């Protein structure tokens, strides 16, 4: 979200993305829903206008078209199985939110090299399951 809608983490997100030499970023159907819904929430919260939201959503589509974001489908049954295992093993200790568990399980399903987030709970869970984690600064 911080790459598309200005927030307190946007500057760090942009610096990180530039340092990584602007890699292609995985964008699953789950990310599509979460990011697009986040943009729509900003309309309701009066942080952006309807016109600005259309522009942001178009930017996302443009990035999918040019490869900045690459779309990968998910096997939802396997993802949910993996998420249940992660939840069973870590939520009693960490108090994980279901969406954080899904993010981490998706990273595991895709054998991700790096898990990047500004969310401390996500990072803690990702670290616990053995992912290489990074919070951009």
How many angstroms separate the CA atoms of 137 and 125, rounded? 19
How many angstroms separate the CA atoms of 102 and 81, rounded? 10
CB atoms within 10 A of CB 23: 10
What pLDDT score was predicted for residue 84? 98
What pLDDT score was predicted for residue 135? 95
Q: Say if residues 136 and 18 touch (Cβ distance below 8 Å).
A: no
What pLDDT score was predicted for residue 75? 95
What pLDDT score was predicted for residue 44? 96
Q: Distance of alpha carbon 99 from its chain centroid, rounded?
A: 10
What pLDDT score was predicted for residue 113? 86
State the pTM of this model: 0.85
Q: Say if residues 1 and 103 touch (Cβ distance below 8 Å).
A: no
Residues of the chain with pLDDT under 50: none
């Amino acid at each position: 979200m911080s790459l598309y809608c200005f927030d307190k983490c946007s500057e760090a997100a942009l610096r990180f993305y530039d340092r990584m030499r602007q890699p292609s970023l995985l964008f699953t159907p789950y990310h599509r829903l979460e990011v697009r819904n986040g943009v729509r929430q900003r309309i309701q919260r009066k942080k952006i206008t309807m016109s600005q939201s259309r522009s942001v959503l178009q930017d996302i589509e443009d990035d999918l078209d040019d490869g900045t974001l690459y779309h990968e489908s998910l096997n939802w049954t396997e993802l949910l199985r993996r998420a249940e295992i992660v939840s069973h093993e870590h939520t009693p200790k960490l108090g994980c939110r279901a969406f954080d568990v899904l993010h981490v399980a998706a990273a595991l399903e895709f054998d991700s090299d790096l898990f990047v987030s500004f969310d401390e709970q996500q990072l803690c869970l990702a670290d616990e399951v053995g992912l290489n984690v990074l919070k951009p600064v």
